[in-house]
Structure 1
């Protein structure tokens, strides 16, 4: 993973883990990597990995069972809410960017329509 120097690493890793959860790479109740393995995977400090898991627990995205490890939440509604929050964040960024270009709403819709017509749909969930 290439890190953006303008965003704290732990936030970027949290976003990546959330994306894995909402896309099903990590399923409900799945065991997550140990803190040490997370640190190795992302080439981060083990203390940062521990901070990531603490933050994910605070957001009720995962939970820890002493002696067994850390697990993805089993709450499907929570995962749906995370997906919705992530989608809204992307939409806010998109709308903000289009607004900065001075494009009116109807032009933005036309651009989206054109893009979807050209898009083959292989990466869009149907």
Structure 2
């Protein structure tokens, strides 16, 4: 996530509300270490312009992140990533669990033995690194 240089590479899908996709993008940035506790993030207006989304959608995303304790906004100061290591760990776990559940749902009808599946996943994962 290169928010400092005005670069955010994000693709929206048609399934999920845009504001939740923005929240997920920030969560993924935290889980991957591209964002850290205390980092200043763009203003709501800036993020709307960078992502070419409605400012109200950006506001809704930031409100959701504040409600979840992901970001802190105090007065007129810029919004920052919260300094909560426990929350960051739980976000990482949440994203992994969501991805695993989606994968399992997509593959369970094939009836692949777990060991074979783990070997395929391991090979694909290492191939992509």
TM bin, normalised by shorter chain, reads: 0.7 to 0.9
User: Secondary structure of the equivalent of 1:65?
Assistant: coil
Match for 1:79 among 65, 88, 94?
88
Quickly say closer, same or farther: Cα 1:116–1:34, change in 2 above 3 A. closer
User: How far apart are the structure 1 equivalents of 2:45 and 2:80?
Assistant: 15
Matched, 1:106 2:115: yes
TM-score of the pair, normalised by structure 2: 0.84
Query: 2-side partners of 1:65 and 1:42: how far apart?
Result: 24
Structure 2 partner of 1:36: 45
The aligned counterpart of 1:47 is 56
Question: 70, 76, 84: which one pairs with 1:67?
Answer: 76
In the aligned structure 1, how far is the partner of 2:35 from the partner of 2:119?
36
Alpha carbons 1:63, 1:72 under 8 Å: kept: yes
For the pair 1:20 / 2:29, whether they are aligned, the reply is yes
CA, structure 1 residues 113+75, in 2 after alignment: closer, same or farther (shift >3 Å)? closer
Structure 2 partner of 1:10: 19
Deviation at 1:23, TM superposition (A): 1.5
Rounded to whole Å, the distance in 2 between the matches of 1:43 and 1:113 is: 37
C-alpha RMSD of matched pairs (Å):
1.6
- One of 82, 90, 94 as aligned partner of 2:99: 90
